[in-house]
Amino acid sequence: MNQRIALFSACVFLPLAAFAQSVPLTQDSFVAQATAANYGTAATLKVGGAAADQALVQFDLSTLPAGITAANVSKATLALFVTSVTAAGPVNISLANGAWAENTVNGYNAPVPGAAVASGVFVTAGGSYLYVDATAAVQGWINGAGNNGFIITPANGAVNVAFDAKESTTTSHPATLTISLSSAGPAGATGTTGVTGHTGPTGATGATGVTGAGTPGATGATGGTGATGTTGVTGATGASGGGQVFFSSLGQGTVSQSALLTTTSGGQAATGALMPISGYMSSAVQIGQLNANAGQAYFGNIYGGLLQVLPRTTTFTGMNAVINPQDTQILIGVTVTITAQLYRFQRQGGSGQLILVPGAACTFTDASTLQTPTPTQTYANIIPPSELGVCSSAFSATIPAGDSLMWLFSMTSSTNQSQSLSQSLNIDASISLTSQ
């Protein structure tokens, strides 16, 4: 230690000399991400591992000779002693972008990395030194940049190493910062300012030159208009804006593949048909299943296939529906009303819940105006528009991402005569659903 002091003293006062000086390490610590623990008294500085630890070191440059500039720094080297290597890998050394204190810094208030000093420096074995060129960092500090020290961070998620802290009592190799200086010698005293001489007389102003006597030339004739260039190729038509259209269908044009809708003796809906979007389904579903379990309707009870899931939250604005009865007889004097109501299927674990979408419904009503000698009227592949043909409805409903959409067809009946209200009707259906 005494030899180092003596060498330093000699270097300070010898002009035109070059020497290296190690500046004091004032504080070091490491932090574990997202924890409030402080490791300011730890014997090692951990980097990486499960908590992605980061190490901090700071040095005092006030011990450098007075009057030096960044130009006097020819080299600065940061040395870190590798205490142990649990998992070899690269580390990054950067300027610490903020103030910190050794006895209070933790995973919540630690500074973040600033400008890079060295990136991807590989650490392979313990018991050795890691050397980093820190010349630019030291020159910046001498030029007035804030000195918050260095921060050492893992360059990937696998590295797990430790360096000696100044509190180490085993290997005792704390971080060092060695600065090589080229000295220009002490500046000489400023000489006395000389006496200011007398101001000389102002010279005479020179004569203004003669303006030229030439007349402007005549304006030239206008040139002829050039030929029209060839019309460029028409660009491709851009994609249409606006929303999407979802299509669904039910039945295949035959009684055996159509959906059966029925009513009770009191004219209420009995059997309905449930149809997912976008997709196809022909089997009937009991209306009572929708009201089971206090409004809970489970996936396995309603539709055995796969339901399409909305990839994003979508606002739907309208629907157009067509139904087509298949070889069905309805008693004269009986009015049947068919409703297509939109539901959303909200998943809950392995099952889910059907929730009615307000306003998203279309209603078809049979006017029962056909009078024939027979007591019934027959619908056989009616082509829309017809009494039970086409329906459109505008509404606004926002459905969250992850839900599925399903249509429920149901039928009720009424009469102004003494006819049975227990009716059945086989239908095919097609619905388009528009969105913004």
Structure confidence by residue, pLDDT tens digits, 94-112: 999 999 999 999 999 999 9
pLDDT for res 218: 84
Please give the structure tokens belonging to residue 344. 């959303």
Tell whether 328 and 254 lie within a shared domain. Answer: yes
For residue 286, tell me if it sits in a domain: yes
For residue 53, tell me if it sits in a domain: yes
Tell whether 253 and 393 lie within a shared domain. Answer: yes
Tell whether 7 and 78 lie within a shared domain. Answer: yes
Tell whether 177 and 256 lie within a shared domain. Answer: no
CA dihedral 281, 287, 289, 290 (to 10 degrees): 90
For residue 215, tell me if it sits in a domain: no
Closest by alpha carbon to 313, among 243, 407, 239? 243
- Of residues 19 and 78, more confidently modeled: 78
Tell whether 140 and 280 lie within a shared domain. Answer: no
Q: Show which of 162, 182, 202 is a domain's final residue.
A: 182
For residue 197, tell me if it sits in a domain: no
Instruction: Please state the rounded mean pLDDT for residues 168-187.
Output: 84
Q: Rounded CA gap, 182 and 323, in Å?
A: 94
Tell whether 274 and 177 lie within a shared domain. Answer: no
Instruction: Work out how many domains the chain is built from and give that number.
Output: 2
CATH of the domain at 177: 2.60.120
Taking all residues of the chain, what is their mean pLDDT, rounded to a whole number?
78
pLDDT for res 207: 81
For residue 200, tell me if it sits in a domain: no
pLDDT for res 243: 66
Tell whether 152 and 22 lie within a shared domain. Answer: yes
Q: Is 228 exposed, middle or buried (0-12, 13-18, 19+ CB in 10 A)?
A: exposed
Tell whether 25 and 145 lie within a shared domain. Answer: yes
Q: Tell me, yes or no, if the pTM score tops 0.75.
A: no
Tell whether 411 and 279 lie within a shared domain. Answer: yes
For residue 41, tell me if it sits in a domain: yes
Residue 22's domain comprises: 2-182
Tell whether 257 and 110 lie within a shared domain. Answer: no
Residues contacting residue 8 through CB under 8 Å, at least 6 positions apart: 19, 21
For residue 207, tell me if it sits in a domain: no
Q: What share of the chain is helix, strand, coil (3-state, %, to 5)?
A: 10, 45, 45
Tell whether 298 and 425 lie within a shared domain. Answer: yes
For residue 322, tell me if it sits in a domain: yes
Q: Show which of 156, 182, 208 is a domain's final residue.
A: 182
Q: Rounded CA gap, 283 and 259, in Å?
A: 6
Q: Rounded CA gap, 202 and 69, in Å?
A: 44
Instruction: Please state the rounded mean pLDDT for residues 430-436.
Output: 85
- Of residues 414 and 73, more confidently modeled: 73
Which long-range contacts does 197-201 make (Cβ < 8 Å, 24+ apart)? none
Confidence of residue 282 (pLDDT cuts 50, 70, 90): low
Tell whether 19 and 134 lie within a shared domain. Answer: yes
Instruction: Please state the rounded mean pLDDT for residues 159-181.
Output: 95
pLDDT for res 388: 56
